[in-house]
Protein backbone atom coordinates (compact mmCIF):
# COMPACT_ATOMS: atom_id res chain seq x y z
CA UNK A 1 0.00 0.00 0.00
CA UNK A 2 1.33 3.39 -1.00
CA UNK A 3 1.17 6.07 1.67
CA UNK A 4 0.25 9.60 0.74
CA UNK A 5 2.91 12.18 1.34
CA UNK A 6 1.99 14.91 3.86
CA UNK A 7 1.67 17.47 1.07
CA UNK A 8 -0.91 15.36 -0.79
CA UNK A 9 -3.20 15.15 2.24
CA UNK A 10 -3.32 18.90 2.69
CA UNK A 11 -5.52 21.61 1.18
CA UNK A 12 -3.95 23.98 -1.36
CA UNK A 13 -3.30 26.55 1.39
CA UNK A 14 -1.21 24.00 3.34
CA UNK A 15 -3.72 23.17 6.07
CA UNK A 16 -5.15 19.73 6.69
CA UNK A 17 -8.59 19.05 5.22
CA UNK A 18 -11.44 18.74 7.72
CA UNK A 19 -12.49 15.37 9.07
CA UNK A 20 -15.86 13.98 7.99
CA UNK A 21 -18.86 15.42 9.85
CA UNK A 22 -20.15 12.19 11.35
CA UNK A 23 -22.78 12.11 14.09
CA UNK A 24 -20.26 11.22 16.80
CA UNK A 25 -17.75 13.84 15.64
CA UNK A 26 -20.43 16.57 15.57
CA UNK A 27 -21.58 15.49 19.04
CA UNK A 28 -18.02 15.80 20.37
CA UNK A 29 -17.57 19.20 18.70
CA UNK A 30 -20.82 20.41 20.27
CA UNK A 31 -19.79 19.22 23.74
CA UNK A 32 -16.36 20.82 23.41
CA UNK A 33 -17.91 24.08 22.22
CA UNK A 34 -20.34 24.19 25.15
CA UNK A 35 -17.48 23.54 27.59
CA UNK A 36 -15.79 26.71 26.38
CA UNK A 37 -18.68 29.04 25.51
CA UNK A 38 -22.25 29.68 26.53
CA UNK A 39 -24.44 29.37 23.47
CA UNK A 40 -28.00 29.58 22.28
CA UNK A 41 -29.38 26.62 20.39
CA UNK A 42 -29.25 28.59 17.14
CA UNK A 43 -25.63 29.72 17.60
CA UNK A 44 -24.56 26.12 18.31
CA UNK A 45 -26.50 25.02 15.22
CA UNK A 46 -24.55 27.57 13.13
CA UNK A 47 -21.21 26.32 14.49
CA UNK A 48 -22.08 22.71 13.67
CA UNK A 49 -23.49 23.55 10.25
CA UNK A 50 -20.22 25.28 9.33
CA UNK A 51 -18.47 21.97 10.07
CA UNK A 52 -21.02 20.12 7.93
CA UNK A 53 -20.51 22.61 5.07
CA UNK A 54 -16.71 22.21 5.22
CA UNK A 55 -17.02 18.45 5.24
CA UNK A 56 -19.39 18.55 2.27
CA UNK A 57 -17.11 20.90 0.34
CA UNK A 58 -13.78 19.15 0.92
CA UNK A 59 -14.84 15.53 1.42
CA UNK A 60 -18.02 15.41 -0.67
CA UNK A 61 -20.14 14.22 2.25
CA UNK A 62 -23.92 14.64 2.17
CA UNK A 63 -24.91 18.00 3.72
CA UNK A 64 -28.53 16.86 4.25
CA UNK A 65 -27.33 13.94 6.35
CA UNK A 66 -25.09 16.29 8.33
CA UNK A 67 -28.03 18.64 8.91
CA UNK A 68 -30.06 15.72 10.27
CA UNK A 69 -27.25 14.90 12.70
CA UNK A 70 -27.11 18.54 13.82
CA UNK A 71 -30.89 18.69 14.37
CA UNK A 72 -30.76 15.48 16.42
CA UNK A 73 -27.91 16.83 18.57
CA UNK A 74 -29.67 20.16 19.19
CA UNK A 75 -32.91 18.38 20.12
CA UNK A 76 -31.10 15.99 22.47
CA UNK A 77 -29.18 18.85 24.14
CA UNK A 78 -32.38 20.89 24.61
CA UNK A 79 -34.16 17.91 26.18
CA UNK A 80 -31.26 17.12 28.51
CA UNK A 81 -30.82 20.75 29.58
CA UNK A 82 -27.33 21.24 28.12
CA UNK A 83 -28.89 23.97 25.98
CA UNK A 84 -31.45 26.35 27.39
CA UNK A 85 -32.15 29.56 25.50
CA UNK A 86 -33.97 31.14 28.44
CA UNK A 87 -31.02 30.69 30.82
CA UNK A 88 -28.60 31.78 28.08
CA UNK A 89 -30.63 34.95 27.43
CA UNK A 90 -30.88 35.73 31.16
CA UNK A 91 -27.11 35.49 31.60
CA UNK A 92 -26.39 37.50 28.47
CA UNK A 93 -28.85 40.26 29.39
CA UNK A 94 -27.25 40.71 32.81
CA UNK A 95 -23.70 40.52 31.47
CA UNK A 96 -24.28 42.96 28.62
CA UNK A 97 -26.20 45.32 30.90
CA UNK A 98 -23.30 45.42 33.38
CA UNK A 99 -20.96 46.22 30.48
CA UNK A 100 -23.07 49.25 29.64
CA UNK A 101 -25.09 48.15 26.62
CA UNK A 102 -28.46 49.77 26.07
CA UNK A 103 -31.62 47.67 26.10
CA UNK A 104 -31.89 48.20 22.34
CA UNK A 105 -28.31 46.94 21.79
CA UNK A 106 -28.88 43.93 24.05
CA UNK A 107 -32.05 43.07 22.13
CA UNK A 108 -30.35 43.22 18.75
CA UNK A 109 -27.31 41.26 19.95
CA UNK A 110 -29.47 38.42 21.26
CA UNK A 111 -31.56 38.40 18.09
CA UNK A 112 -28.32 38.02 16.12
CA UNK A 113 -27.46 35.00 18.29
CA UNK A 114 -30.74 33.39 17.26
CA UNK A 115 -32.61 33.75 20.56
CA UNK A 116 -36.40 33.87 20.21
CA UNK A 117 -37.85 37.38 20.42
CA UNK A 118 -40.34 36.37 23.13
CA UNK A 119 -37.55 35.11 25.40
CA UNK A 120 -35.58 38.33 24.86
CA UNK A 121 -38.59 40.50 25.70
CA UNK A 122 -39.26 38.44 28.83
CA UNK A 123 -35.67 38.85 30.09
CA UNK A 124 -35.57 42.58 29.30
CA UNK A 125 -38.89 43.03 31.12
CA UNK A 126 -37.42 41.28 34.18
CA UNK A 127 -34.42 43.62 34.02
CA UNK A 128 -36.70 46.67 33.82
CA UNK A 129 -38.63 45.44 36.88
CA UNK A 130 -35.42 44.88 38.88
CA UNK A 131 -33.62 48.08 37.87
CA UNK A 132 -35.13 51.56 37.90
CA UNK A 133 -34.27 53.34 34.65
CA UNK A 134 -32.03 50.60 33.20
CA UNK A 135 -30.91 52.62 30.16
CA UNK A 136 -29.58 55.42 32.38
CA UNK A 137 -27.74 52.84 34.50
CA UNK A 138 -26.27 51.24 31.39
CA UNK A 139 -25.29 54.64 29.96
CA UNK A 140 -23.52 55.41 33.24
CA UNK A 141 -21.53 52.16 32.97
CA UNK A 142 -20.83 52.79 29.26
CA UNK A 143 -19.57 56.33 29.93
CA UNK A 144 -17.43 55.15 32.82
CA UNK A 145 -15.88 52.35 30.76
CA UNK A 146 -15.21 54.63 27.77
CA UNK A 147 -14.28 57.69 29.91
CA UNK A 148 -16.93 59.93 28.41
CA UNK A 149 -18.45 63.09 29.86
CA UNK A 150 -17.73 63.53 33.57
CA UNK A 151 -15.43 60.48 33.53
CA UNK A 152 -13.11 62.01 30.93
CA UNK A 153 -10.44 64.68 31.03
CA UNK A 154 -12.06 67.89 32.37
CA UNK A 155 -9.84 70.10 30.19
CA UNK A 156 -11.07 68.45 26.97
CA UNK A 157 -14.65 67.88 28.05
CA UNK A 158 -16.30 70.69 26.09
CA UNK A 159 -14.35 69.89 22.91
CA UNK A 160 -15.33 66.21 23.14
CA UNK A 161 -19.02 66.76 23.97
CA UNK A 162 -20.37 66.04 20.46
CA UNK A 163 -18.15 62.96 20.07
CA UNK A 164 -19.26 61.65 23.47
CA UNK A 165 -22.94 62.17 22.60
CA UNK A 166 -22.40 60.39 19.27
CA UNK A 167 -20.66 57.51 21.02
CA UNK A 168 -23.65 57.00 23.32
CA UNK A 169 -26.04 57.30 20.35
CA UNK A 170 -24.12 54.56 18.51
CA UNK A 171 -24.43 52.50 21.69
CA UNK A 172 -28.21 52.61 21.28
CA UNK A 173 -29.04 55.26 23.87
CA UNK A 174 -31.67 57.95 23.15
CA UNK A 175 -30.75 61.64 23.14
CA UNK A 176 -32.25 62.44 26.55
CA UNK A 177 -30.25 59.66 28.23
CA UNK A 178 -27.03 60.59 26.41
CA UNK A 179 -27.56 64.27 27.24
CA UNK A 180 -28.18 63.51 30.94
CA UNK A 181 -24.95 61.50 31.20
CA UNK A 182 -22.62 63.67 29.12
CA UNK A 183 -23.82 67.02 30.48
CA UNK A 184 -23.83 65.99 34.16
CA UNK A 185 -21.64 68.35 36.15
CA UNK A 186 -19.79 65.51 37.85
CA UNK A 187 -20.03 61.86 38.81
CA UNK A 188 -21.96 62.70 42.00
CA UNK A 189 -24.73 64.35 39.97
CA UNK A 190 -24.94 61.23 37.82
CA UNK A 191 -25.14 58.98 40.86
CA UNK A 192 -27.94 61.15 42.24
CA UNK A 193 -29.86 60.69 38.97
CA UNK A 194 -29.57 56.91 39.33
CA UNK A 195 -31.13 56.81 42.78
CA UNK A 196 -34.83 55.85 42.70
Instruction: Give pLDDT tens digits for 100-114.
Output: 999 999 999 999 999
Residues of the chain with pLDDT below 50 are 1-8
What is the per-residue pLDDT across 129-171, written as a single tens digit (0 to 9) for each?
Answer: 998 889 999 999 999 999 999 998 889 989 999 999 999 999 9
In this structure, the answer to whether residues 144 and 179 fall within a common structural domain is yes
- Residue 90 lies inside a defined structural domain of this protein: yes
- Residue 178 lies inside a defined structural domain of this protein: yes
State residue 13 phi and psi, 5-degree precision: -85, 5
Predicted confidence at residue 3, as pLDDT, reads 43
In this structure, the answer to whether residues 166 and 143 fall within a common structural domain is yes
Q: What is the distance between the alpha carbons of residues 162 and 182, in angstroms, rounded to a whole number?
A: 9
- Residue 92 lies inside a defined structural domain of this protein: yes
Query: Sign (positive/negative) of CA torsion 42, 45, 49, 50?
Result: positive
In this structure, the answer to whether residues 151 and 184 fall within a common structural domain is yes
- Residue 176 lies inside a defined structural domain of this protein: yes
How distant is the alpha carbon of residue 141 from its chain centre?
Answer: 18
Last residue of a domain, one of 130, 145, 161: 130
In this structure, the answer to whether residues 138 and 189 fall within a common structural domain is yes
In this structure, the answer to whether residues 116 and 150 fall within a common structural domain is no
Q: What is the distance between the alpha carbons of residues 172 and 178, in angstroms, rounded to a whole number?
A: 10
- Residue 18 lies inside a defined structural domain of this protein: no
Domain interval for residue 122: 85-130
In this structure, the answer to whether residues 97 and 114 fall within a common structural domain is yes
Q: Give the C-alpha distances (Å, rounded to integers) separating 163 from 157, 169, 182, 187, 194.
A: 10, 10, 10, 19, 23
- Residue 43 lies inside a defined structural domain of this protein: yes
- Residue 41 lies inside a defined structural domain of this protein: yes
Domain count across the chain: 3
- pTM, rounded to two decimals: 0.81
- Residue 10 lies inside a defined structural domain of this protein: no
Predicted confidence at residue 14, as pLDDT, reads 73
Amino acid sequence: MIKKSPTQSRKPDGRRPPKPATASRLHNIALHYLERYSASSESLRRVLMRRVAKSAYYLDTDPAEGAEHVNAIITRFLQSGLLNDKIYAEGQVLSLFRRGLSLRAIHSRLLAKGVDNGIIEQQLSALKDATPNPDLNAAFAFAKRRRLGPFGDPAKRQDRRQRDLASLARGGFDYATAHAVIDAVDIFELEALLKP
